[in-house]
Amino acid sequence: MNESKICYEDRRENWIDSLRSRGYRLTEPRQVVIDVLAYSSRALNAAEIYDSARKKYSSLGLVSVYRTLEKLEELELIQKVHHPDGCQSYIAGFTGHQHLLLCNECGLTAFFEGDDLVPLIDNVSSDSGFDIQDHWLQFFGLCSNCKSV
C-alpha cells in the first residue's frame, strides 16, 4: 500500500521535472491535471480528468486539460489507450512503450513485458515481406478483484 503511494508520488515529481526541464512553466492547471492522471490506475479521458481536477481547482478550463495531455504525450509520460468503444483515454506510462492489460469491468490498467513477440515478428516479417517497425499488443479481461465477484 505504502509502496504504491510512494511510486505515484515519484511519478508526479518526475512529470513535473520533465515539464520544467523542457522549459514548460509549472502552472496550477497543469498541476491538477497531473495530480489526477499520475495517481490513476485506469485510463481516463479528457472529460473525466476535467471533472476530477475541477474538484481541486474549479476554474480549470477543459481546453487546458487537452493542452496538458498534449504535452505529457509529447514527453512520452502518458500514452493513449485504445479500446473497442473508443480511443480517447490516457494512462500513465512507466516507460515510453508498454503493453497494456485492461480490466473490462473496472478499467484497471496494468503493464506487461512482451519480449516473447520477437520470434512471431520474425515469422510474420518473412511470410509477408513487411519490414515491421512497431507493434501494439493489448490484453483484455477481468482483474483479480473483478473476476472473483
Chain positions contacting DNA, by CB under 7 A: 20, 23-30, 45-47, 57, 59-64, 66-68, 70, 88
Q: How far apart are CA 102 and CA 68, in angstroms?
A: 24
Distance CA 77, CA 75 (A): 5
Long-range contacts of range 78-83, CB-CB < 8 Å, 24 or more positions apart?
A: 78/37, 81/43, 81/109, 82/136, 82/138, 83/43
CA-derived radius of gyration, the chain: 17
| Range 23-52, binding a second copy (CB under 8 A) | none
Determine if 7 is a binding residue for a second copy (CB under 8 A).
Answer: no
Contacted by 82, from a second copy, DNA, none: CB < 5 to 8 Å by type: a second copy
114 in contact with a second copy (CB under 8 A): yes
Which residues of the chain form contacts with a second copy (CB under 8 A)?
80, 82, 84, 86-87, 101, 103-104, 110, 112, 114, 116-117, 119-121, 123-124, 127-144, 147
